[in-house]
């Protein structure tokens, strides 16, 4: 039953009241290797739908582009005269759109955002999860085993429409995937839900970013797949995950292992660990059943080492203790933006990197003592944090 539930939650969820007051978001992350240089990068592909029934035939963004300024308005602005056109006086609007966001997490990374009217959305009851676009040149699709698409944003697009909140560039992909490890039950809240059916997901195929080809193979993909939906995005975002784990105790790679930390859900986090086929789960929906401490702070440069962010998480119940310590160079953190479904020019800004490193320790409680079960080195970790902001466009 748990697997059926996760499969159901992977599907399009904007029905009833959520059609006018809600969002749906699929997120895929995978590593790819440049076929020429050998450089390995973390890529993301996301399908994001906001309030589809508000304006099904036309995309509406809360950050409407500034109206063209007349010569009289320009003169008034330059001379300081009153009556000049002021973008801040524009009425607030409720967003309504489908968006495909794709890009790369690295120093000077990029996100390309392409918008579609909700009327172009296709969803299915078999293997099709989501498809948008009108023809093969501009459609993007996600099925239960594959994803295909192209996003292309020109510099002129950004000049004419700065409200699309991204960078210029082109990325295309043709990938197959298989979810290896997932966790149940899903997190369900009054305003936000989260399903992580692919905490470890293997990808195969290719990605082309700005003309350069990247090969994606199962052993090196370090893939991740999750889904969130509801009325509102989380006001504070915290995420750590990786399936590239190595035992420090015996030096062996742990192929059937991964971990995920995500929130913030009602001041708590879900801490989900799978080591050698054994799952240890602290679900934020049952936050009263375990103790949790977590922190995130920036460690300034000391002259010898560059500035870093440090994530720390500790979760414990009557049986287990999980401690996670992670680090990521500040310069590798890249900012992504998501317009919130409630509008009011609210944007969730998430800084993320795919190159975090750290350690995880799993202990078993034996009376008043702790027995170390596993001590793991983490590589190529997805490290993210974010908050709701009100930027000026």
Average the pLDDT over each of 15-24, 118-127, 132-141, 312-321 and give the range with the smallest value.
132-141
**The pLDDT value given to residue 391:** 53
pLDDT of 10 above 60: yes
Query: Stretch 24-49: mean pLDDT, rounded?
Result: 98
Residue 105 and residue 103: Cα distance in Å, rounded? 7
Query: Stretch 54-82: mean pLDDT, rounded?
Result: 62
**The pLDDT value given to residue 39:** 96
- Domain ranges, ordered by start, for the chain: 8-389
Predicted confidence (pLDDT) per residue in 209-262, tens digit: 999 999 999 999 999 999 999 999 999 999 999 999 999 999 999 999 999 999
**The pLDDT value given to residue 68:** 43
Cβ distance 49 to 95 under 8 Å?
no
Q: ∠246-248-253 over CA atoms, to 5°?
A: 25
pTM (two decimals): 0.90
**The pLDDT value given to residue 26:** 98
pLDDT of 46 above 90: yes
Neighbouring residues of 285: CB distance < 8 A, sequence distance ≥ 6: 185, 187, 188, 189, 265, 270
pLDDT of 78 above 70: no
Predicted confidence (pLDDT) per residue in 160-209, tens digit: 998 888 999 999 999 999 999 999 889 999 999 999 999 999 999 999 99
E strand or H helix at 76: helix 71-79
Residue 45 and residue 384: Cα distance in Å, rounded? 15
Query: Stretch 278-285: mean pLDDT, rounded?
Result: 95
Query: Stretch 140-144: mean pLDDT, rounded?
Result: 97
Q: 3-class SS at 332?
A: helix
Strand 97-105 relative to strand 128-132: parallel, antiparallel, unpaired? Answer: unpaired
**The pLDDT value given to residue 389:** 87
Query: Stretch 337-352: mean pLDDT, rounded?
Result: 92
Task: Round the average pLDDT of the chain to a whole number and report it.
Answer: 90
E strand or H helix at 158: helix 155-160
Phi and psi torsions of 5, nearest 5°: -65, -45
pLDDT of 4 above 50: no
Q: What is the DSSP letter of 285?
A: G
Share of the chain above pLDDT 70, in %: 90
Query: Stretch 117-134: mean pLDDT, rounded?
Result: 93
Greater pLDDT, 169 or 304 = 169
Residue 129 and residue 345: Cα distance in Å, rounded? 29
**The pLDDT value given to residue 72:** 53
pLDDT of 6 above 70: no
Average the pLDDT over each of 45-54, 91-100, 143-152, 288-297 and give the range with the smallest value.
91-100
pLDDT of 87 above 50: no
Query: Stretch 275-286: mean pLDDT, rounded?
Result: 94
**The pLDDT value given to residue 7:** 67
Predicted confidence (pLDDT) per residue in 104-123, tens digit: 999 999 999 999 999 999 99
pLDDT of 375 above 70: yes
Residue 338 and residue 386: Cα distance in Å, rounded? 11
Greater pLDDT, 230 or 64 = 230
- Could you tell me which of 187, 207, 24, 10 has the C-alpha nearest to residue 102? 207
Q: What is the DSSP letter of 96?
A: B
Residue 290 and residue 301: Cα distance in Å, rounded? 35
């Amino acid at each position: 039953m748990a697997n059926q539930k996760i499969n159901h939650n992977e599907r399009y969820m904007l029905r009833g009241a959520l059609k006018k007051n809600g969002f749906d978001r699929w997120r895929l992350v995978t590593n790819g290797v440049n076929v020429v240089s050998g450089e390995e990068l973390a890529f993301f592909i996301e399908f994001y739908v906001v309030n589809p029934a508000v304006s099904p035939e036309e995309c509406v963004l809360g950050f409407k582009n500034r109206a063209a300024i007349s010569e009289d308005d320009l003169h008034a602005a330059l001379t300081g005269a009153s009556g000049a056109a002021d973008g801040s006086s524009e009425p607030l609007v409720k967003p309504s759109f489908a968006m495909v966001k794709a890009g790369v997490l690295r120093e000077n990374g990029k996100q390309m955002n392409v918008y579609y009217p909700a009327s172009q959305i296709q969803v299915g009851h078999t293997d099709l999860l989501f498809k948008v676009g009108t023809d093969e040149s501009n459609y993007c699709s996600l099925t239960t085993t594959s994803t295909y698409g192209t996003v292309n944003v020109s510099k002129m697009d950004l000049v004419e429409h700065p409200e699309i909140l991204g960078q210029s560039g082109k990325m295309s992909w043709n990938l197959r995937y298989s979810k290896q490890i997932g966790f149940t039950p899903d997190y369900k809240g009054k305003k936000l839900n989260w399903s992580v059916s692919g905490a470890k997901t293997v990808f195969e195929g290719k990605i082309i970013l700005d003309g350069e080809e990247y090969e994606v193979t199962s052993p090196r993909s370090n893939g991740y797949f999750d889904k969130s939906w509801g009325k509102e995005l989380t006001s504070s975002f915290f995420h750590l995950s990786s399936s590239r784990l190595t035992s420090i105790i015996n030096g062996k790679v742990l192929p059937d292992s991964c971990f995920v930390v995500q929130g913030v859900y009602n001041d708590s986090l879900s801490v989900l660990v799978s080591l050698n086929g054994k799952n240890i789960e602290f679900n934020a929906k049952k936050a009263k059943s375990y103790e949790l401490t977590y922190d995130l702070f920036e460690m300034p440069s000391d002259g010898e080492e560059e500035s870093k962010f440090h994530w720390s998480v500790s979760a414990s119940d009557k049986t287990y203790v999980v401690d996670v310590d992670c680090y990521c160079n500040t310069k590798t953190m890249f900012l992504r933006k998501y317009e919130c479904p409630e509008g009011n020019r609210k944007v969730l800004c998430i800084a993320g990197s795919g190159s975090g490193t750290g350690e995880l320790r799993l202990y078993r409680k034996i009376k008043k003592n702790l027995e170390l079960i596993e001590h793991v080195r983490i590589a190529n970790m997805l490290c993210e944090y974010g908050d709701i902001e009100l930027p000026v466009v």
